[in-house]
Structure 1
């Protein structure tokens, strides 16, 4: 098997410059090289890939489909290389060059602005991705994300550092005009017969957790309506479409709709979900501690205050872990 010949970055720079200039003479002049050196480098690239990169029968030069693909990716690679030295130096000084963070929607929608503002001081380049927990988990394992705030602790995977931020109990919401109080599984069964339940999407982690809870208390309700987001779920309940099971953070995420529904607290349920900070073990160890401190401070102060503004009973459903509690 022939040895793999790696792409030379200088040759790639020559190709990208030629693609930008659409003329080998102009590219040579811009790079301080001879035209023959530029031509030879392009030929070497074409031999290496086994494809033509330029349509040489046209003037000015145009890229083939293969050449266009290499140009697009090559520009990104060259930009990354140009930043590499600065990033290595920053890392040696304790400054994290690029941090890619995944935030579950409910955290992003409630604590996100304060969290991101603080994180800008901990990184040179910050990339934030929001969405469903399963996608963030895959991205963390696949090295597309560095740190994740998630409701899934990835307990079955080795090599993951995890620390719980908080736990929150489920809360039932109904339209304002619903008179009966909802506290027990029997109440939920009766409610399910009177009104349709609005469910979180079954692809979401919270949706799966709520389904497990309903099965555990033997409440079987037909699946008729699913939604993707907490604000949509709460707005449908406020609009007298049905009822739902949610959490304090998801309720806060719903904004003004949270004040347009009736809250019911389940008796001694102690069932809900937890949020965790996750990272790959032995990577970003110092940053992991700093990020946890930031997130913990936000949920300990502003989150509880804002929940109390919706209903005095909501902060009691949230149990915030101490900063010293640490899971491996």
Structure 2
């Protein structure tokens, strides 16, 4: 494989068709240039220039080499800015996991803005619950993720950014008599059958909901479990039971479902962005973007 320097010398001679002028452009004397071209011809086993005392011309082999050498040289020249951009987080890839609930908040707008501002970063979205995200992190298949959890209960071994902290509200069937009350206290609703997510997909939040019942000397009557919050709300619409959902989910309107905020107390949840401390620069660029968005909204 010829050296980049030698290919540059070949191209300069091919442009000038004069060894003296080519040597001057390359800031070298003519004999070393002539020697370099002869060595290149020996490597290829074919003459690249026809030389006479009055002229220099490309041979068919030289004509074939010229566009290929130009491409190789252009690719080589692009390597430095490519590497520098990647090191600065201006290029690269971010594989981003997210739980479905974040889609009802600011995330779509954030992603659109990030793509507009960082077109050279490939952003891949992967919808996954916390348990799935943790497995993908361990397998090296995820770079960052938005997760839902109890306040302060970020999985160990991750850096984190709190996106929003909010109460859970009670999604209820519109046919439920309690749904017709203008004011509802938590103790009034604790006897309703409950639709809830399995513990393994969000253990800290599941435990927080059950602790909320225990603190009030109540035991939840779990009528059904479902993984996705949209499915949970649909089951509420079908009259299966009531469900505690993040306040941000109230933008998901379903026929036959009303959302009730407790007037006294309710379990709380937190949405966070998590990533590894040794994440690639492009991932940290996304983290900085998320931090800016959180700051602009005044979240704590």
**Paired residue for 1:170, among 168, 191, 197?**
168
Partner of 1:90: 85
Partner of 1:251: 250
Partner of 2:159: 161
**2:299 aligned with 1:321, yes or no?**
yes
SS in 2 for 1:170: strand
Could you tell me how far 1:99 is from its partner in structure 2? 1.0
5+ residue gaps, structure 2: 1-77
The runs of at least 4 consecutive aligned structure 1 residues that moved more than 6 Å come to: 83-86
Q: Quick check: 2:147–2:273 contact (8 Å CA) kept in 1?
A: yes
Q: Quick check: 1:139–1:145 contact (8 Å CA) kept in 2?
A: yes
Q: 1:85 to 1:139 in 2, by over 3 A?
A: farther
SS in 2 for 1:174: strand
In 1, Cα distance between equivalents of 2:142 and 2:127: 11
RMSD: 3.1
SS in 1 for 2:199: coil
Q: Quick check: 1:230–1:251 contact (8 Å CA) kept in 2?
A: no
Could you tell me how far 1:144 is from its partner in structure 2? 2.2
Partner of 1:108: 103
Partner of 2:189: 188
In 2, Cα distance between equivalents of 1:178 and 1:270: 19
Deviations 1:168-216 (A, max 9, x none): 1011122213233473443124x42xxx322223333144442333233
**Paired residue for 1:269, among 259, 265, 281?**
265
Could you tell me how far 1:100 is from its partner in structure 2? 1.1
- State how 1:1-328 maps to structure 2 within 5 Å: 88-120=83-115, 121-122=117-118, 123-152=120-149, 155=154, 157-158=156-157, 160-180=158-178, 181=181, 183-189=184-190, 191-192=191-192, 196-205=193-202, 206-252=205-251, 255-257=252-254, 260-269=256-265, 271-283=267-279, 284=281, 285-294=284-293, 297=296, 300=297, 321-322=299-300
TM-score by length of 1: 0.55
Q: 1:263 to 1:271 in 2, by over 3 A?
A: same
Q: 1:163 to 1:96 in 2, by over 3 A?
A: same
Q: Quick check: 2:209–2:267 contact (8 Å CA) kept in 1?
A: no
Could you tell me how far 1:94 is from its partner in structure 2? 3.7
In 2, Cα distance between equivalents of 1:264 and 1:175: 10
In 2, Cα distance between equivalents of 1:217 and 1:280: 38
SS in 2 for 1:292: helix
Could you tell me how far 1:132 is from its partner in structure 2? 0.7
Structure 1 or 2, whichever has the larger Rg, is 2
Q: Which has the bigger relative contact order, CA under 8 A and spacing at least 6?
A: 2
TM-score by length of 2: 0.60
5+ residue gaps, structure 1: 1-82, 301-319, 323-328
In 2, Cα distance between equivalents of 1:84 and 1:113: 33
Deviations 1:6-59 (A, max 9, x none): xxxxxxxxxxxxxxxxxxxxxxxxxxxxxxxxxxxxxxxxxxxxxxxxxxxxxx
Q: Quick check: 1:118–1:294 contact (8 Å CA) kept in 2?
A: no
In 2, Cα distance between equivalents of 1:136 and 1:260: 33
